[in-house]
């Protein structure tokens, strides 16, 4: 169901082309899965069977250890399978000279298990990142970090949720198109947190949602890439797919230093959205 992708090998453009095939090509397979839940995700007992089968497609033969370079938080049982909050925290110990270069989110039992790849700005030893994802069946959610020494490290949580990828869109299609690409930026500094949040208005259709009028599946259409920078320095970038929730929202570590924050977004239909938010955090 998935084409091969190598996170650590090959030129960036090649990885992007493969990632698009992985994220987009899974949509039809996902529709076929609507007939019933997958065996590995149907019960309460976590299974590693799916992970064992998809891991080589995502990470090749690279060794992945469980050294705690990142922590991952998610609800044990999600209130809304289409809006499951995920938090990733990086906090390398004092004396550890490494940095974290990238984080890959995976939901084993999703039709498109590879949720997104986040590349971080240089020198990240402490960093917090949260977003909302779709979970289609009881599944492990995994965060795999890549450190500056080229090693991969994984942490995981088991989430009980079902139907997140096929859940109807929360907004009327006309409203979604009218607000397409609009962004909101919030500055949380001064509230006990050194963080900011950006939200992009986009339906992020998964390709598995049925139009209740026509009874046809709405084609997949989602935010494909995002880049956040502060001044001329990258904060993080993302390449994602159908497992990100509607109106993608990202909260991230942020140092208010007087420089504007710029957000660049591109979706799968080639729409490009860009906005610079002033240094005072106004939206």
Domain spans of the chain, in order of start: 12-277
The CA-atom distances, in angstroms, between 36 and each of 31, 72, 147, 218, 242 are: 10, 29, 38, 20, 19
pTM of the model: 0.85
Question: Can you list the positions of beta strands (E) in the chain?
Answer: 64-65, 70-73, 84-91, 100-107, 114-120, 126-133, 139-147, 152-159, 183-187, 195-200, 223-230, 233-240, 249-253, 261-267, 272-277
pLDDT score recorded for residue 39 = 39
Written in H, E and C, the secondary structure of 169-189 is CCCCHHHHHHCCCCEEEEECC
Nearest to 189 by CA among 251, 145, 262, 147: 251
- Structure token pair of residue 80: 């809304």
The model's pLDDT over 183-208, given as tens digits with 9 standing for 90+, comes to 999 999 877 778 999 999 999 999 99
Beta partners for 103? 118, 145
> How many other CB atoms are there within 10 angstroms of residue 56's CB atom?
13
Nearest to 99 by CA among 138, 65, 148: 148
**Residue pointed to by tokens 């939200």:** 199
> What's the CA gap between 103 and 144, in Å, rounded?
6
The model's pLDDT over 78-118, given as tens digits with 9 standing for 90+, comes to 999 999 999 999 989 889 999 999 999 999 999 999 999 99
The model's pLDDT over 14-62, given as tens digits with 9 standing for 90+, comes to 344 434 444 544 443 433 333 334 434 445 667 899 999 999 999 999 9
- Structure token pair of residue 40: 């590995």
> What's the CA gap between 102 and 141, in Å, rounded?
17
- Structure token pair of residue 244: 């990100």
> What values do phi and psi take at 205, rounded to 5?
-60, 135
Superfamily of domain 12-277: SoxY domain (2.60.40.2470)
pLDDT score recorded for residue 279 = 72
- pLDDT at residue 282 above 70? no
- Average pLDDT over the chain, rounded to whole? 85
Q: Which residues, other chains included, contact 181 with Cβ-Cβ below 8 Å and sequence gap of 6+? A: 200, 201, 202, 265, 271, 273
Contact call for residues 124 and 90 (beta carbons, < 8 A): yes
Contact call for residues 195 and 218 (beta carbons, < 8 A): no
Q: What angle do CA 62, 250, 228 make, to 5 degrees?
A: 80
Maximum Cα interatomic distance, the chain, rounded to a whole number of Å: 60
Beta partners for 43? none
> What's the CA gap between 20 and 1, in Å, rounded?
13
């Amino acid at each position: 169901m998935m084409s091969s992708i190598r996170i650590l090998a090959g030129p960036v453009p090649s990885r992007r082309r493969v990632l698009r095939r992985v994220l987009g090509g899974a949509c039809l397979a996902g529709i076929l899965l609507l007939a019933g839940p997958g065996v590995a995700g149907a019960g309460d007992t976590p299974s590693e069977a799916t992970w064992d089968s998809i891991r080589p497609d995502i990470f090749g033969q690279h060794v992945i250890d469980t050294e705690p370079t990142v922590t991952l938080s998610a609800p044990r049982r999600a209130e809304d399978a289409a809006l499951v909050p995920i938090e990733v925290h990086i906090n390398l110990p004092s004396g550890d000279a490494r940095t974290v270069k990238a984080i890959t989110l995976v939901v084993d039992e999703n039709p498109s298990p590879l949720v997104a790849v986040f590349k971080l700005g240089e020198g990240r030893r402490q960093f917090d990142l949260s977003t909302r994802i779709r979970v289609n069946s009881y599944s492990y959610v995994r965060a795999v970090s890549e450190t500056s020494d080229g090693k991969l490290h994984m942490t995981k949580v088991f989430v009980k949720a079902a139907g997140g990828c096929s859940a109807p869109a929360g907004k009327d299609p006309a409203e979604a198109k009218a607000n397409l690409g609009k962004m909101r930026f919030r500055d949380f500094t001064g509230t006990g947190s050194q963080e900011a949040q950006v939200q992009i208005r986009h339906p992020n259709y998964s390709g598995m949602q049925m139009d209740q009028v026509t009874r046809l599946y709405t084609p997949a259409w989602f935010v494909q890439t995002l880049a956040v920078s502060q001044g001329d320095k990258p904060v993080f970038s993302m390449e994602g797919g159908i497992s990100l929730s509607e109106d993608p929202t990202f909260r991230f570590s942020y140092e208010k230093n007087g420089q504007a924050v710029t957000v660049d977004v591109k979706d799968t239909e080639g729409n490009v959205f860009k906005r610079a938010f002033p240094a005072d955090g106004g939206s």
